Amino acid sequence: MKALSDFSPDLSRVPYTHNGSQSLPAELHGAIMLLGNFDGLHRGHGELVATGLEISRQRGAPLAMLQCDPHPRAYFSGASRFRVSTGLAQTRLLAAAGIELIYAPRFDEAFAALTPDEFILDNLTGQLGIGGIVVGRDFRFGCRRRGDVVLLQHHAERQGFSLNIIDDQISDGRRISTSSVRAAILAGDIGLATRLMGHAWLTQIYANDGAGWSFAGDQLLPPTGEWPVAALDRAGEHVAYALVEICKGGHVSAKLPEKTALLKWLPTAKTQFAEHTEGRDAYA
């Protein structure tokens, strides 16, 4: 299984985001498209990324990823804190994985009603002109999730794009999934979440006008309490170490440098935080 750190440590690049409302730059046609739910990116995703990167480099084609806006879960189930990483944090993770194109169509009533065939023919081959697809075996898509890898294989043979199907990734007898990462974070086990992802948990945090800090409304958070983090700026550069307190209702209390934009959550217990940051740039 590939960890994100196996690919690129560069968090400064930003993939091109295409929502379908404008023409796609010619150099991004023929992309190798990764299909799936890539919230947060974990070690299972790493296998898709590794395969996609190998193919894209062989062909000199860009590597692309589907990421609907809003997330389909939010569209169908309403607002909740379920996203492992949001906004800038997720974009930086995708950049580090080598993604050059994010296909981010608006997920609305019309998009949700697309048949699986329409999604492939109108969006993937028609609008994007993809050269290949890399996908997990259990991926479902289209209206009522009727599309599957069998249908993708049917269209691959007729439309001329390549198709690579990746099996589930298992660690310690368990399937690595976004759900398992969420469960670890909700249980307050940042160490387990870090191992499942293969990289540090990264989230975006926002400075409120004279009123502290906040997270996006759909950002998953650990249980209430104080949590050690490393504060990063928008370019992903380290700023300081700090403690962030998660309060009831998802409210946050923290003293962070003004240029903080991202938090890297440390798999370190609060009682070990002083030892971890001794002689370093702890911020209080």
- Every domain of the chain with CATH number 3.40.50.620 lies at 4-170
> What's the confidence (pLDDT) of residue 9?
45
> What's the confidence (pLDDT) of residue 256?
96
As a whole number, mean pLDDT of residues 54-70 equals: 94
Q: Which two tokens stand for residue 214?
A: 């906040």
- Gap between the Cα atoms of 147 and 73, Å rounded: 17
> What's the confidence (pLDDT) of residue 158?
96
Closest CA to 47 of 166, 192, 177: 166
> What's the confidence (pLDDT) of residue 72?
84
The residue assigned the tokens 């409210």 is 251
Q: Strands 252-254, 213-214: parallel, antiparallel or unpaired by DSSP?
A: unpaired
170 pLDDT higher than 80: no
As a whole number, mean pLDDT of residues 183-195 equals: 95
Which segment of 117-121, 208-212, 258-262, 274-278 scores lowest on mean pLDDT? 274-278
Which segment of 111-125, 142-156, 180-194, 204-218 scores lowest on mean pLDDT? 204-218
- Gap between the Cα atoms of 42 and 198, Å rounded: 6
Look at 276 and 30; give whichever has higher pLDDT.
30
Pair 243, 282: CB distance under 8 Å: no
The residue assigned the tokens 């002083």 is 274
284 pLDDT higher than 60: no
Note the pLDDT tens digit of each residue in 15-54. Answer: 999 998 888 999 999 999 999 888 878 888 888 999 999 9
- Gap between the Cα atoms of 264 and 269, Å rounded: 14
Q: Strands 101-103, 63-66: parallel, antiparallel or unpaired by DSSP?
A: parallel
Q: Is the peptide bond before 70 cis (omega within 30 degrees of 0)?
A: yes
- Gap between the Cα atoms of 239 and 221, Å rounded: 21
Which segment of 65-79, 85-99, 113-127 scores lowest on mean pLDDT? 65-79
Q: Which two tokens stand for residue 86?
A: 């949001």
Which amino acid does the sequence have at 41? L
Domain 4-170 fold is Rossmann fold (3.40.50)
Look at 57 and 44; give whichever has higher pLDDT.
57
Residues 6+ apart with CB under 8 A from 96: 4, 7, 8, 9, 10, 11, 199
| Percent of the chain residues past pLDDT 70, beyond the cut | 89
